[in-house]
Chains A and B, each alone.
Chain A
Amino acid sequence: MGERRKKKKRVIPGFGLSIGITVTMLGLIVVIPLCSLILFSAQLSLPGFIETVTRPRVLSSYLVSFQTALAAAVVDAVMGLIIAWVLVRYDFPGKAVMNGIIELPFALPTAVAGIALTHLTTTNGWVGGFFDRMFGIRIAYTRLGITVALIFIGIPFVVRSVCPVLEKIDLQYEEAANILGANSRQTLFRVILPEITPALLAGFTMSFARGLGEYGSVVFIAGNMPYETEIAPLMIMSELQEFDYASATSIALVMLLTAFVILLANAAIQSRNSKIVSGIS
C-alpha cells in the first residue's frame, strides 16, 4: 500500500503548487486570525474573563441565544423532515418551485430577511396583526420573533441533510416490513426513522449551531432589550463598538467553545453514520 501511494504522488502533477497555495491561503485567512485570537485570549486574566462572562446581562444573552436557537432547530427538524419527505416521496404540481425555494435562506441576504420578517410580524404587519388579533401573541421584538428568524435561517440545513438519505432508502425495506405484517406506523417508526435519524440529527445540529451565531436576521426582529431579547452575538458587537476587546473576546470564547462542542457531536454522529452505511454495503 505504502509503495503504491508513493507512486500516486509522483504520477499526478501539481502537488507542490496546490498544497503551497492551499496552505498559504489557509494560513492567511484562517490560521493567523485564529492564532491572534488565541494570543489575545492568553493575555486575558482569568478573574477578568470569569467576571465578564458571568455578568447577568451576558448570562441572559447566552440563555436567549440558546433557548431561541434550540426552539428554532426543533421546529426546523420537524418541518424539515416533513418537507424532505414530501419532496422525495410525492409528486404534485409545484414541486419544482418548492424544491427551488427551500434554499432561499442561503441566497437571500440575512439583513433583507431580517427587515422583511420584522415588518411582517409587528402588530401592524400582515402576519403579526393576525396573530395579535386572533391569539394576542406578539412576534416581533420578542423571543418568539428571534425564533422565527432562526427558523427561517435553519430550515434548508435540515432539508438538505435529510433528502439524500431519504432518496437512498430502498422501497424494498418498506415492502419487506409490510409483508412481514408491519402497519404503516410501525414501518415509519421502526424502518424509516432509524435510517434517517443520523442525517436528521446532523441537520438539527447544523441549524442549531448556525442559530447560535446568527446576527444579521435576528438583530432587526429582536428589539434588543437587555435581559429580554439580547442575543450573545449582539453582546460581542456592543463590546466591540466600545472598543472593549477583552470583554468581546471573553464572550466570543464561550460561544466558540459551545460551537466546537456542537461540531464535535455532529462529527461523531457523522462518522458513526458512515460506519453503519459502509457496514451494510
Chain B
Amino acid sequence: MEIRKNSGVLKWALIGISAVFLTVMLILPLIYVMYTAFEEGIGVFLAAVTDEYALKAIGLTVRVTVLTVIINTVFGIFASWCITRFSFPGKKVISALIDLPLTVSPIIAGLIYVLTFGRQSILYPYLQGAGIKIIFAVPGIVLATIFVTFPFISREIIPVLNAQGTDEEEAAALMGAGGFTIFRRITLPHIKWALLYGIVLCTARAMGEFGAVSVLSGHLRGKTNTMPLYIELLYQGYDFTGAFAVSAILVLMAVVILVLRSVLEYKGAKSGEQAHK
C-alpha cells in the first residue's frame, strides 16, 4: 500500500516518462507519415496511390493477405484442436515446430524457400517440367507470408482451449453430436474472440511482411511487388511523397487493426469473465 500512498510524484513521473517515450517512438512516426503524404496536397496523394503500379501493388498485397489469412485460419483451428483435445506422441515436437517461424529471421525464412524451390534444389527439375514457378513469383510470396505468420492464430486459440478443458465437448460427443456440430456449437463460441484476434494479428503481419517477401519476390514492378516492396522502390528512387502516400494507406490499416484489437481484447476478457462465473 505504501507504494501507492507515497507515490503521487513518482506516479506522474512514470506516466510522463512512458507518455514521452511512446509519443516519440510510436506516435510521431505515424504523424510524420500522414504529414508527408499530404504535404503537397490531396491531389498529389491521390495521384501517387492511383498510379498504375501502386494499384497493382495494393491488389497483390490484398490477394496475398487474404490467401494467407484463410490458409492460416484453417490450419490454426485444426492444429489447436489436435494439440489441446488429444494426447499423442510427438505433441511437444509439433508445438515447437509450429512456433519455430517466430524465431527465424524473415531473411532466413526467404532463404530456406529459395533453397527448397530454387535452381540448386532437387525439386527444381520437376517444377520446371511442370511449368510451375515459385521463386521470384507470386506463389513464393504467398508461401513466405504463410511461413512468417504460421503460428499467429493457433497461439491465440490454444491458451483459451486449454483453459476451457474438454468436459463440454466430451459430454456433447457422448450425447451423439458429430465433430462439426461440437465445434460449431460448443468450441467456436468459446474461442470466437481469440480466433478473431489471431486473424487480426495475422492480417497485420501478412500485409506488412517485408524481409521474407523481399528475398522471394524478384521485384518485378506490377507483377511481384507488394505494397511494402513498392514503398521501398519509391523510396530508393527518392520519390518520398509517393513512398509516404502508399505508406499512409498501411498506417490507416494499422490504426484500424489497433482499434479492432482493443475491441476484441475487451470482448474476450468479458466473455472470459462470464465463463468463470
Contact = CB atoms under 8 A, between A and B. Distances in A.
Contacts of B169: 12
Given A108-B251, A245-B120, A21 B100 contact: no
Contacts, number: 283
A25 B26 CA distance: 36
B106 A107 contact: no
Contacts of A252: 105, 107-108, 111
Contacts of B47: none
A23 B94 contact: yes
Contact of A40 (B6, B28, B120, B259): B120
A29 B111 contact: no
Contact of A106 (B98, B173, B205, B215): B205
A216 B240 contact: no
A269 to B, nearest CB: 15
A257 to B, nearest CB: 11
Interface of B: 1-4, 6-7, 11, 14-15, 17-19, 21-22, 24-30, 32-33, 36, 71, 74-75, 78-79, 81-83, 85-88, 94, 97-98, 100-101, 103-108, 110-116, 118, 120-122, 143, 146-147, 150, 166, 169-170, 173-174, 178-179, 182-183, 201, 204-205, 207-211, 214-215, 227-229, 231-232, 235, 240, 243-244, 247, 250-251, 253-255, 257-259, 261-262
Interface of A: 5, 8-9, 11-15, 17-19, 21-23, 25-26, 29-34, 36-37, 39-40, 79, 82-83, 85-86, 89-90, 92, 94, 96, 98-113, 115-117, 119-120, 126-127, 148, 151-152, 155, 171, 174-175, 178, 183-184, 187-188, 209, 212-216, 220, 233, 236-237, 240, 245, 248-249, 252, 255-256, 259-260, 262-263
8 contacts: A18-B81, A26-B98, A29-B143, A112-B247, A115-B244, A120-B32, A155-B25, A237-B107
